[in-house]
Structure 1
Amino acid sequence: EILDEAGNFMAEVVAPTNRAGDLEGARLNPDGTVSTATGFKEAYAAYVDAGWGSVPLPEEFGGGGFPRTVGLALQELMTTANMAFALAPLLTQGAIEALLHYGSDEQKQQWLPKMVSGEWAGTMNLTEPHAGSDVGALTTKAVKRADGSYGITGQKIFITFGDHDLSEQIVHLVLARTPDAPAGTKGISIFIVPKFLMNDDGSLGERNGVHTVGVEHKMGIHGSPTCVLSYEDATGYLVGEENFGMRIMFVMMNSARLSVGMQGLAVSELAYQQSLDYARERIQGRAIGATQDSPIIDFPDVRRMLMTQKAYIAALRRMMLLTATYTDVSTHHPDAAVRARANEIVGLLTPINKSFGTDLGNELTSL
C-alpha cells in the first residue's frame, strides 16, 4: 500500500518537473543564491509534507521505522520520476546515515529530526580541484577554536545540491585536515558545517562562511545543482574523532553506491516505459501476415529489444532489493553472527550493484 501511494505521488507530483529540470537546469544568481527549475520547490514541499523521505529512517528522530528495503524501492520510484530532483533526498539520506552511526547524542538531537523530515537537506563534500579520486590529497584546513568548534577553510567541487532553494538549511558534511594530521587518508577528519549557524533556541542564525562560487554546466541531470563551494573560516563541528573521517565517509559512500546503481535501474525503467508506449503507437511497415500497416511492437527485433530491457531491469531490481534486505539483516537481526555474515554479503554486492546498475543504465536507455 505504501509503494502504491508513493507511486501515485511520484507520478503526479514529481514526474511533471522532469522536463523543466532538463530544459532550465539550476542557476547561480548574481546575489550568490541558487535557484532550481520551475516546480522543484513546490514538489519538494509536497514531498516533505507527505513524509516520504522519513519512511525508512528511525522513529526516535521522527522517521517511519520501515526497512531499508522499502526505502530503496521508494528511492527507485522517485528517481524514475525525476533523477535530478531525487538527488537532493538521496544525499540527505547519506548524511543522515553517517550521523546516525558516528554523531554524538547532542549532534543527533540537533541535526537529525529536521533532516529526517526533509525540512533540512544534507550534502557530502569530498572532492577538491586537485583531489578527486585521490581523496588523501585534499588540503581543506580545519583549525580548532577555543570553544571546541573548528574553522574550516578550502574549496570543494562537484557538490551535488551544494546550494539550492528547496530547504532553508543545508547541513554539509565536509572532509578536512587538522594542522598536525598525518598525511594521506589517515589524516582526514569530517565536520558538520551548516549553511546557517544555529541560535541557542534552535532557530536559524547568521550565514556561515560557506559560499557558492559556481554551478557546473553538465551533459545531463541539469535540474540538480552541482556546486563549487568556498569555505572561509566557516564554523564546523567535528563528527567522531579527529583523523576518523574516511571511515565515517564510507558509511555515506556505501549508502550512495547502492543508490547510484539504483539510478541506473530507474532511468532504464523510465526508458523502458517510454519505449513500450512508443512501440505500441508507432505505425511503420507491415509485420508478416498483416493486412495493414503494423505498430512496430509486432516486429521481432523490436520485441527483442523490449524484452532485453525488461529482463535486465527485473534482474537489476532483484539484485538491488536483495542487497537492501541483507542491509536490514546486518542492522537488525538478533544474532550477531547472522548480522556479521549479512554485512559481508552487503560488502560484496554493493560495488557490483553500482557497476552493473550504472553500466546497464547506459546500455538499456540506448536500446
Structure 2
Amino acid sequence: IDLYGMPVFNAPEEPILGVDKILIKNGAIDYWEAEVDSLKSDADALNEFYRQFPRTESHAFRDESKQSIFNLTKIYQQIDYNDSTIREHHTTRGSFHWRDGVQDSKVIWTPDSRGRFSVSWIPSKSIQNNVYNRNGTAHPGNEHIGSFGCDSYDISAVVGGRGSNGSLHGMTKFHMDEAPVNEFFLEYIARPQTAEIFFEEVLMACIFYGMPILIENNKPRLLYHFKNRGYRNFCLNRPDKLYNKLSKTERELGGIPNSSEDVKQSHASAIESYIEKFIGMDLAGNYRDSDEIGTMPFTRTLEDWAKFDINDRTKFDASISSGLAIMANQKHIYIPEKKESKISINFARYSNDGNTSQLIE
C-alpha cells in the first residue's frame, strides 16, 4: 500500500514510497504470481496457497486436496484458463428432441439456456444421426470418431428429494474426420423428474452423434432402455473381458460393473493419463507445445476430478462418466491377451527288438 493508501498491484517503473515509509519495488500481483510459480512442483501446497490467498471465486471455494490422486496443478491451470474466457463462446447449452415428436426418427439439437446439455462441438449435417442397420439392428456410424460414458441411476425419486445425478460425457478420440481430436465435447450432469426422461435424453444424444456408449451395469435400467428400443449395439461390452468370458447378462445388455477393483483402478488410471496429456500446461513439451493450454471447457467436470476419491466414488458422477468415456475410446488397451493352451501329449514308445515289443519307460 502506497503513501496514499492505494494498493500497488504491479511492479512500478520507479520505487514508490509505502505507507510504512519503505520503498515498494514489487507489486502484490507480481508477488502472488511468483509464489504460484515456486509452488508448481507441489500440487497440494499450490492448492492450499490458492485457498489461502484467492484471486478468483473458484480459488476461494476450493477444497483441501487431501492427497488427490490426480495432478491438481494441471486441473487448476485449466480451471483458471476457463475462468479467464467467456464460457458462452466455447460451450452452448441446449437439448435434444425427436423430429416432429416421432420416436426413433431423427434427433434435433436445439440451443436452450435452460437445457441440461452443455456442448462444445456439433457434428456437421453429414454425420449427424449417423446410424446404420445391420441384421435388423441399429449400429452407431461414428464409432471411429468417439464414444460416450454414462453414470446412470434407476430410481426417479428418493426420500428427501435428493439423490446422485445422472451423468453423461461425450469424447472424441484420434481420427481423420472433421471433428476435434481427444477432446470432451459434451457434458450432462442432471437429475430430471423421472429416470425415463434421463434414459431418453441419453439415447437421443447417442443417436444424434452416432456414437456408442459405455454404461455402468450395476444399475441396468438404462441398458434395458437401449435394448428394448432396438439400440443394444450402441451399448459397449466391458473392454477388459473377452466376449466368451462375459456373463449371460453382460452379453445381453453390455455395460461394465463399478464394483470390480480392477475396473476402479483402470478407470482412475484412464482419467489420470488423460489429465497428464491433455489438461493444463505441458511444460515439459511431451505431448504438445509447452506454451499451449489444454482444451477442456467443462469446469464442473474439472472440479469433480479435483475432488475425486477413489475409495468413495458415489459422489463423483462427472468423474465416473468422463472416465468411462475415456475407457471406451481406448478399449483396445484393456483387451486381455489370449493365452494359448499348451497340450502335452505323450505317446508310448516301444522297442521292437526280439519277438515281443517292450514298452520303453
Alignment TM-score, normalising by the size of structure 1: 0.23
Higher-Rg structure is: 2
Alignment TM-score, normalising by the size of structure 2: 0.24
Where is the helix percentage greater, Structure 1 or Structure 2? 1
